Amino acid sequence: MTEPASEPEFPPAEGRQDPPFVADERTMLDAWLDFHRATLLAKCEGLDDGQLRTRSAPPSSLSLLGLVRHMSEVERSWFRRTLTGEEVAPLYYSDDNEDGDFDDVGDADAVADFAAFRAEVDTSRAVAKRHSDLDAIAAQKRRGVHDVSLRWIYVHMIEEYARHNGHADLLRERIDGSTGD
């Protein structure tokens, strides 16, 4: 007989709310991005450290904890590095270990990684609020060539979360059979 999973050590997802059906563009973008952020956390709720580290299928190193770590990096990259031009070091990867966010979850501290995710989301929200114009051009160019607007960053972030939340759906179903939106 297997023992039940231990209670997770990280806080549960905040109440995920459906985005409004009618709203101004900024409100809609903020709501959809927050919806997807909360969706990723919801896919991790109730799992223990071992389950959060469970890989999808070889050769992929994808895991729920890896997705949380990756999205911390994505938040950090687009809002801090690109939008504001802030020079912040990566949290989980390096030039010598480009996929450290996904690959190095074996000894990762899930509690610390979820705290880092929440901190990056809070910082991203604060950075975005400082820019009232969705047409504001980011301090850093994309690939050193293309100007990027705050609007583009929002849309890209929603796309990035949507894609990875699909991965999270499959990972969660593999772990304990849970499905849902």
Which tens digits make up the pLDDT trace of 8-40?
444 455 678 899 999 999 999 999 999 999 999
Q: Answer yes or no: are the C-beta atoms of 157 and 78 closer than 8 Å.
A: yes
User: Amino acid identity, residue 122?
Assistant: D
Phi, psi of 20 (to 5 degrees): -65, 150
pTM to 2 decimal places? 0.91
pLDDT at residue 180 in the model: 78
Q: Any idea how long the chain is?
A: 181
H/E segment holding residue 127 = helix 110-129
Does 108 have pLDDT greater than 90?
Answer: yes
Q: Average of pLDDT values for 96-110?
A: 96
Superfamily of domain 25-176: dinb family like domain (1.20.120.450)
Q: Average of pLDDT values for 128-138?
A: 97
